Amino acid sequence: MSIKLRAVFLSLLVVITGCRQHVQDTTEHDYGYINQPYDGHYKIGEPYKIKDKWYYPEVNEKYVEEGVASWYGTSFHGSKTANGDQYNKKSLTAAHRTLPLPSMVRVTNMENGHSVIVMINDRGPFANDRIIDVSERAAELLDFKKKGTGNVRVEYLPKQTADLRSVLGLSQASSKVQATGASVKDTELEEVMTENCDANCGAYYVQVGAYKNKVTAKKLAAKFAKLGGIEVNQITKADVKLHRVRIGPFENETKAKKIVAKVKELGSYKAIVTQD
């Protein structure tokens, strides 16, 4: 284990007891033992489309979901994950479709009560409406490796996530949010073309619209995601909370105006160029 990741677990005040009979008894079970250096970066990502279905990555500290889990192992061992980390089948990690990378979640097997905490560092799964794809080691501890899938409850852990990111020096503020990608497991992501630039290159945006309904705003964002980095953020106008959809940033007004033209070609939207 790298020195930095040792510090993660020491900072979380976890005592290694050596007992493996109960899931809650070891560092591996409690905090997602990672036996390799961490190479990933912080990432939320843009909306993306897989097999005609859109997914919307976001921060959701109250996330809890029950459904079917699967696992992936040897064929992906050593491959890059969606946030640049390296998949290790012996580590307690997992793939999730929308949670920020990295995030810590507790996965509980609803059939036997076994529970383990894993680090989300990849995107997926995209088959049969499964909600999480865990590593081979996690599947062993949850006791559904032989079966292949299991009915689980997945719960986001804000404190453990914050502790992990703090020790690794990762944060939304200090890391550029990357466009969503995935290691190829079930299918390839559709290509998302971007013309984004760094935050200091000039703040030109194309505002597509602003809506009271967040769902409506996200659907619109998904429609235009292929035109560039797209964001949905909350603003207040005349004491009314709106969800603004805009594309960018672009380094100059000329590039932004080209996107306005493309937006209008895709529908009767009153897109405009704005500058922060």
- Do 160 and 208 reside in the same domain of the chain? no
Give me the CATH number covering residue 100.
2.40.40.10
221, 255 Cβ separation under 8 angstroms:
no
- Do 163 and 209 reside in the same domain of the chain? no
**Distance, CA of 140 to CA of 99 (rounded, Å):** 23
- Do 85 and 158 reside in the same domain of the chain? yes
User: Which of 124, 151, 168 is a domain's end point?
Assistant: 168
- Do 141 and 58 reside in the same domain of the chain? yes
The pLDDT assigned to 38 comes to: 62
The pLDDT assigned to 66 comes to: 97
User: H-type helices in 169-241, by residue range?
Assistant: 214-224
**Distance, CA of 166 to CA of 226 (rounded, Å):** 33
Cβ burial, residue 150 (10 Å; 0-12/13-18/19+): buried
23, 115 Cβ separation under 8 angstroms:
yes
The residue range of the domain holding 222 is 204-275
The full length of the chain comes to: 276
Asked, for residue 176, whether it belongs to a domain, the answer is no
Q: pLDDT truncated to tens, each residue of the chain (276 aa)?
A: 444 454 444 433 332 222 233 333 334 444 444 445 566 788 888 788 887 788 888 889 999 999 999 999 877 888 888 888 888 899 899 999 999 999 999 999 999 999 999 999 999 998 888 999 999 999 999 999 999 999 999 999 999 998 888 877 765 543 333 333 333 333 322 322 233 334 444 578 888 888 888 888 888 888 888 787 888 888 887 777 888 888 888 878 888 888 888 887 776 457 888 887
209, 245 Cβ separation under 8 angstroms:
yes
Nearest to 220 by CA among 250, 192, 247, 194: 247
The pLDDT assigned to 171 comes to: 56
Asked, for residue 132, whether it belongs to a domain, the answer is yes
How many domains does one find in the chain? 2
Asked, for residue 83, whether it belongs to a domain, the answer is yes
CA distances from 185 to 75, 136, 146 (A): 9, 14, 19
User: Which of 117, 150, 168 is a domain's end point?
Assistant: 168
The pLDDT assigned to 269 comes to: 58
Asked, for residue 249, whether it belongs to a domain, the answer is yes
The pLDDT assigned to 37 comes to: 58
Give me the CATH number covering residue 231.
3.30.70.1070
Q: Which amino acid is at 191?
A: E
User: Which of 122, 144, 168 is a domain's end point?
Assistant: 168
Inter-axis angle of helices 158-168 and 3-11, to 10 degrees? 140
**Distance, CA of 151 to CA of 65 (rounded, Å):** 11
- Do 80 and 144 reside in the same domain of the chain? yes
**Distance, CA of 1 to CA of 37 (rounded, Å):** 7
Q: What is the pTM of this model?
A: 0.56
**Distance, CA of 181 to CA of 123 (rounded, Å):** 7
